[in-house]
């Protein structure tokens, strides 16, 4: 997988929130071998050194960090958070979130495009959390984004791929743009289905963190993503309405 000119061996991006313990988080990262781990910046008092142990753990995992602007509701707030994250994590990569609706956590696409344009102009490598809307996608690309991250379903819902038509259309309209399904993935089968559509990667968090055995689930997702990608590349058969016998009847013996 190639994002912003950088190659990654894995097509799984893993969030670092909600895990029962730091040890379980570390076990999940080892089991999944993700390309990137996402972390959110929280504004803490500098004198308290809050969160230092967590950041130390993330650094020790040896996986590239993708800061995100989780919880931001305006373009201005997201831009400020991204600028702070660049200083804290020493990276110009950012997962851009601008939330517009509290119940569904649907992106505010207007603020998203505005923030993407500002951050791209400042040299950030922006990975925007967006919807599957084709017009919004075009605006984000015009704003400087080289990767798009459409949602599968609302964050943390585990509903899978709510709009297959929209996701297929997005893939068809932008065949050369890296597309990452972000949010709503609940099962490895959801991830495999997205990869079979031709998507380039999956970003997930809750489905692993809230599993009964998070490390086993992380491994299952990694395997499903690899299987889905392999299936897509193998040019799978198209579905049909009528049966087609796998054993030909031509040449079959006829008993009188």
Q: From the annotation, which residues make up the binding site for 1-deoxy-D-xylulose 5-phosphate?
A: 156, 183-184, 205-206
Catalytic residue among 11, 95, 190, 219: 95
Burial classification of residue 87, based on how many CB atoms lie within 10 Å of its CB (0-12 exposed, 13-18 middle, 19 or more buried): exposed
> Angle at Cα 52 formed by Cα 71 and Cα 42, nearest 5°?
15
Per residue, what are the HEC states of 167-196? HHHHHHHCCCCCEEEECCCCCHHHHHHHHH
Question: Which parts are annotated binding residues?
Answer: 156, 183-184, 205-206
Task: Compute φ and ψ for 128, nearest 5 degrees.
Answer: -85, 130
Q: Please confirm, yes or no, whether 210 is among the known catalytic residues.
A: no
CA proximity to 61, closest of 100, 85, 32 = 32
188, 211 Cβ separation under 8 angstroms: no
Q: Which residues pair with 93 in a beta bridge?
A: 125
Pairing of strands 180-182, 6-7: unpaired
The residues that are catalytic are: 95
């Amino acid at each position: 997988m190639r994002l912003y000119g950088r190659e990654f061996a894995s097509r799984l991006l893993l969030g670092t929130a909600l895990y029962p313990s730091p040890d379980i988080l570390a076990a999940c990262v080892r089991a999944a071998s993700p390309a990137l781990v996402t972390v959110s910046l929280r504004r803490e008092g500098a004198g308290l050194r809050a969160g230092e142990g967590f950041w130390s753990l993330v650094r020790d995992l040896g996986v590239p960090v993708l800061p995100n602007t989780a919880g931001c509701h305006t373009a201005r707030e997201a831009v400020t958070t991204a600028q702070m994250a660049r200083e804290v994590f020493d990276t110009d990569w950012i997962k851009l979130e601008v939330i517009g609706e509290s119940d569904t956590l649907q992106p505010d696409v207007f603020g998203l495009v505005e923030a993407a344009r500002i951050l791209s102009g400042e040299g950030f490598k922006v990975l925007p959390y967006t919807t599957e809307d084709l017009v919004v996608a075009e605006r984000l690309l015009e704003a400087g984004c080289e990767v798009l991250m459409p949602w599968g379903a609302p964050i943390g819902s585990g509903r899978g791929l709510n709009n297959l038509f929209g996701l297929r259309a997005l893939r068809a309209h932008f065949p050369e743009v890296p597309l990452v399904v972000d949010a709503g993935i609940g099962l490895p089968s959801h991830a495999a289905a997205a990869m079979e559509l031709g998507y380039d990667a999956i970003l997930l968090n809750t489905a692993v963190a809230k599993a009964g055995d998070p490390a086993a689930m992380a491994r299952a997702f990694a395997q499903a993503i690899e299987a889905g990608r392999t299936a897509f590349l193998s040019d799978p058969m198209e579905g049909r309405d009528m049966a087609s016998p796998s054993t030909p009847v031509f040449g079959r013996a006829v008993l009188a």
